[in-house]
Structure 1
Amino acid sequence: MTDTSDWVGRTRSVNDDIVRSPATRARAMLGDWSTAFAEGDAILPPLWHWFYFLEATPRDETGLDGHAAKGGFLPPIALPRRMYAGGRFTFRGDLAFGAEAEKRSTILSMTEKQGRSGPLAFVTVRHEIVQGGTVVATEEHDIVYREAEDPAAAKPPAPRADKPVLSEESVTPDEVTLFRFSALTYNGHRIHYDQPYVTGVEHYPGLIVHGPLVAMLLFERARRIAGKRPSAFSFRAMSPVFCGTEIRLAEVAAETGLALEARDTDDRLIMISTTEF
């Protein structure tokens, strides 16, 4: 792979106004009628900072996959496929509506390894969300890069869920949900909306549900179960899930915090998460 070690430590800062309109649209996308944003509401729910600080990449600076071309803030890793592998969050305070905030990003690490399906590269980026001089949230974002899919190659077995389910809800993201989440996060990745591209170029069987969307569904269910504000959240993607697939948001036993898993109807494991309060 290309030597990209000098990218570690690279930083970037983005400012945004925390206004109600993105949160109101996110509420409609999630079907969250318990969260209101009328006059007098002071704060944005945790994790909803994902709908702000969006990267407005000019069209001529995007790559074939619709993302910002590699080699700007993110390193020019040669592996063509890029996905959200996981993340870890701490929520120290709240973002207030009506005031500017800043997202400070730093590339923490880059590693390479050999996976079951070929070479992999992992990049971890740390984001600090700052308002009024105070860090109100931190996020460590894991990105995985992998080589192009060989349609003729045997697929490794998907991980299976084996923990007993304490409670569960189901949701089936459709094309409208994927479009709305892409629009809310200004995500141009073609695997989420371009059927000929995702099947013909990246050789997936269908449109892929965003990893962050699955993570947010798990996080929002944890908020509903606990009925209180989370202080930390982590998740790890286990296998892709495709548009129109029923996703079971399953609560399972945990030593600490509230553990939720995203599973399909056959207990294929899609994502695991832990929320702390």
Structure 2
Amino acid sequence: MLPSRTVFRSVFSQYQRTHTHRLFFSTNLQRCQHTQASSQDNKSPLEQWRDQISRKKIIEKDVITASQFNLMGNTMNDPIYRNQRLPSTGTELPPAWHLAYFPPRVTEQELSPDGFEQDWKPPAPFHHRMWAGGELEWNPENPLRVGDEARMESTIRDIQFRPAGRRGDSVFIWVDKKISNDKGWVMTESRCWVYVQGTDGHKKEDSSSSNKKEEEVIKPKQPTVLKELPKADFSLDLTPSPILLFRFSALTFNSHLIHYDNIYSTTVEGHRGCLVHGPMSFMLMINELNKHLKTKDDTHYIKSLSYRCRSPLVVNEPIQVQGKAKSDVPGHYDVWVADQNGNMAVKGSAIVGRIGG
């Protein structure tokens, strides 16, 4: 779960008093005075990285092609754009289908040891990455369309430190990705990653690694059953298969081992199996909410959606993609993805508008 800004301030204040040699804080917080770090040379590697990464900007370009559009339709089993049905030039890209574009264009040698791109990665010991959540807001008057030449600008929104979690200290990083076409702003997708400390399995083998005790190997965390889910207005039952995970990884050029290497995912990172992609959960929620809205009134559209990944979803385990209108707040929906035990593994909130209203 993502730490709130209020919680973070409290946690950081306590951490700073006891760990002044590892000073670190949110980029959105007022900079603290620290007499031992008056110059760049005296700052810790983590502080130096924060200062550098906060100024970083990445600009990428892509063309909204019919082929990628169709491949996403086949991957997600869309009722219209699947099999050989390629969209014509000018066809509007459905919400969140931009995930099929702007792939990480890096060689294998530039990736982390476990396969993810390192554009925003903190220095050691934060070796492992997980998708923690995100937001999406877009312009209904200027959607991406097949044939568009699009531009994406990525910058840091916030950096937060969270000490002493289940996997030790962690760093939460928010990156804003602003996408535009020749008509101007299209959407802003914000992604939140959490970087955690490496495990023994991540380190290169040495003379002592062969003597590693059995209890040092991370054991998969077993799921717990929570209270019953709320009654939903719409629901999709789905069991993510290895093929679905592979296709989504290939389409988005995602080479992170946790999504397709079962041995790595279970023995190194301690999961029950390969993990469903965070952006896949995000896309499933938007797809199902969008279908629900269009069956009621074609003038309804999704203004924005924010979500948090609360617990992992695992391959070959059934999930439910669901949502419900909030009776007390018109135009607002709760959306979620539940795991096989009824846990709300991904929880989101959407704002819905009406064209011309």
- Is residue 220 from structure 1 mapped to residue 266 from structure 2 by the alignment? no
Residue 87 (structure 1) aligned to one of 134, 154, 165: 134
Alpha-carbon deviations, 1:22-63, whole Å to 9, x = none? 110000111111356432543211211111111111111112
1:1-277 → structure 2 map (5 Å cutoff)? 2-3=46-47, 4-6=49-51, 7-35=53-81, 37-39=86-88, 41-68=90-117, 70=118, 72-76=119-123, 78-92=125-139, 93-114=142-163, 116-117=165-166, 118-148=168-198, 151=217, 160=226, 162-167=228-233, 168-227=235-294, 228-254=300-326, 255=329, 256-277=331-352
Length, aligned pairs only:
275
Alpha-carbon deviations, 1:131-172, whole Å to 9, x = none? 015110001111111224664689597683555222422111
Quickly say closer, same or farther: Cα 1:202–1:96, change in 2 above 3 A. same
Quickly say closer, same or farther: Cα 1:179–1:154, change in 2 above 3 A. closer
What CA distance in whole angstroms lies between the structure 1 residues aligned with 2:249 and 2:220?
31
Decide which moves more: 87-96 or 245-254.
245-254
Poorly superposed stretches of 4+, deviation over 6 Å: none
What CA distance in whole angstroms lies between the structure 1 residues aligned with 2:189 and 2:225?
26
Q: 1:202 Cα deviation (Å)?
A: 1.5
**5+ unaligned residues in a row in structure 2: which ranges?**
1-21, 23-45, 200-215, 295-299, 353-357
Q: 1:114 Cα deviation (Å)?
A: 2.4
Quickly say closer, same or farther: Cα 1:158–1:91, change in 2 above 3 A. farther
Asked if 1 retains the 8 angstrom alpha-carbon contact of 2:219 and 2:270, the reply is no
What CA distance in whole angstroms lies between the structure 2 residues aligned with 1:60 and 1:222?
39
Asked if 2 retains the 8 angstrom alpha-carbon contact of 1:263 and 1:269, the reply is yes
Quickly say closer, same or farther: Cα 1:59–1:226, change in 2 above 3 A. same
Opposite residue 57 of structure 2, the aligned amino acid is: T
Quickly say closer, same or farther: Cα 1:157–1:28, change in 2 above 3 A. closer
Asked if 2 retains the 8 angstrom alpha-carbon contact of 1:12 and 1:104, the reply is yes
Quickly say closer, same or farther: Cα 1:266–1:203, change in 2 above 3 A. closer
Quickly say closer, same or farther: Cα 1:131–1:176, change in 2 above 3 A. same
- Larger helix proportion, structure 1 or 2? 2
TM-score normalised to structure 2 length: 0.71
**5+ unaligned residues in a row in structure 1: which ranges?**
none
Q: 1:119 Cα deviation (Å)?
A: 1.4
Quickly say closer, same or farther: Cα 1:82–1:170, change in 2 above 3 A. same
Based on CA coordinates, which of the two structures has the bigger radius of gyration? 2
What CA distance in whole angstroms lies between the structure 1 residues aligned with 2:312 and 2:165?
15
What CA distance in whole angstroms lies between the structure 2 residues aligned with 1:158 and 1:128?
38
Q: Which has the higher contact order (CA 8 A, sep 6+)?
A: 1
What CA distance in whole angstroms lies between the structure 1 residues aligned with 2:66 and 2:350?
25
Structure-1 residue corresponding to 2:12: none
Structure-1 residue corresponding to 2:13: none
What CA distance in whole angstroms lies between the structure 2 residues aligned with 1:184 and 1:154?
28
Q: 1:250 Cα deviation (Å)?
A: 2.4
- Larger strand proportion, structure 1 or 2? 1
Q: 1:77 Cα deviation (Å)?
A: 5.2
Decide which moves more: 155-164 or 117-126.
155-164
Asked if 2 retains the 8 angstrom alpha-carbon contact of 1:159 and 1:238, the reply is no
> Is the partner of 1:181 in helix, strand or coil?
helix
Alpha-carbon deviations, 1:100-126, whole Å to 9, x = none? 110000012211012541212100100
What CA distance in whole angstroms lies between the structure 1 residues aligned with 2:170 and 2:228?
27
- Identity among equivalent pairs (%): 27
